[in-house]
Amino acid sequence: MTGSPHLSDDRSDSGRVRWRRFAVLTVPAVAVTAGLGIALAQGALAASFAVSGQQFKVSASSLEGEGFAQYGGVDVNAREELIPVAVTAIREAKLSNLCQSVVTTLPVIGDISLNLTAGKKTPVEASNLFVDATQLAGDAVFSNIEIGRDASTLDKGPADAQGMQDLFAQQADTVRITGLQQTAWATNAGTFKLSGLSMYVSKGKKECF
């Protein structure tokens, strides 16, 4: 009889531990869901699809665009993790000597490179172009640029090129970038016309830059 209260306490303690563990496990999921809901409501989400776990590189000898906008945003991967990005949006763009590369490392085989090139003779043309990037380099010239504009009020880029209220953004009538080098998570475009397209897969690490 003296052992009964002890057994009862063990069951009670075990129940409390399980509930605590359950609460700890569910908090991250709830936080992610809440974060996604806030991002959706405030227009922070960038790509309209779950991005892969790999960034890719893009280079071009020149980019000429009409209707430029740039602001902060968030991409989401298949694990529902939030990834901060800088969204570059251009209403009409032309790119010369476009190169795109991504490297995948596989067990036993090692590095595998996927390379795409286009626009060597005739420039690549894109409309309503959105690039979610983490790095951008090159020599840039803007016309009628506005720096520090509220991201929710942008009106020179594509129709949907707006970010969250109160956040920093910039826009310009036109942009020209020579020696473009960019690392990105995602690219969206209304139309994407690639003249002289060439795609190939090879062993080893072969990137655009």
Checking if the pLDDT of 179 tops 90, the result is: yes
Checking if the pLDDT of 136 tops 90, the result is: yes
- Looking at residue 44, what is its pLDDT? 60
Contacts of 161 (CB under 8 A, 6+ apart): 69, 71, 87, 89, 130, 154
- Looking at residue 45, what is its pLDDT? 66
Amino acid making up residue 200 = Y
Grouping H, G, I as helix, E, B as strand and the rest as coil, residue 74 is: strand
Checking if the pLDDT of 202 tops 90, the result is: yes
Grouping H, G, I as helix, E, B as strand and the rest as coil, residue 189 is: coil
Residue 47 banded pLDDT, cuts 50, 70, 90: confident
Residue 43 banded pLDDT, cuts 50, 70, 90: low
Contacts of 106 (CB under 8 A, 6+ apart): 112
Say what the pTM is: 0.79
Query: What are 65-98's pLDDT values in tens digits?
Result: 999 999 999 999 999 999 999 999 999 999 999 9
Lookup: tokens for 194: 């690639």
Phi, psi at 114, each rounded to 5°:
-110, 120
Query: What are 90-128's pLDDT values in tens digits?
Result: 999 999 999 999 999 999 999 999 999 999 999 999 999
Residue 48 banded pLDDT, cuts 50, 70, 90: confident
The mean per-residue pLDDT over the stretch 134-154 comes to 98
Mean pLDDT over each residue of the chain, to the nearest integer:
86
Beta bridge partners, 175, equal 65, 142
Query: What are 154-175's pLDDT values in tens digits?
Result: 999 999 999 999 999 999 999 9
Residue 18 banded pLDDT, cuts 50, 70, 90: low
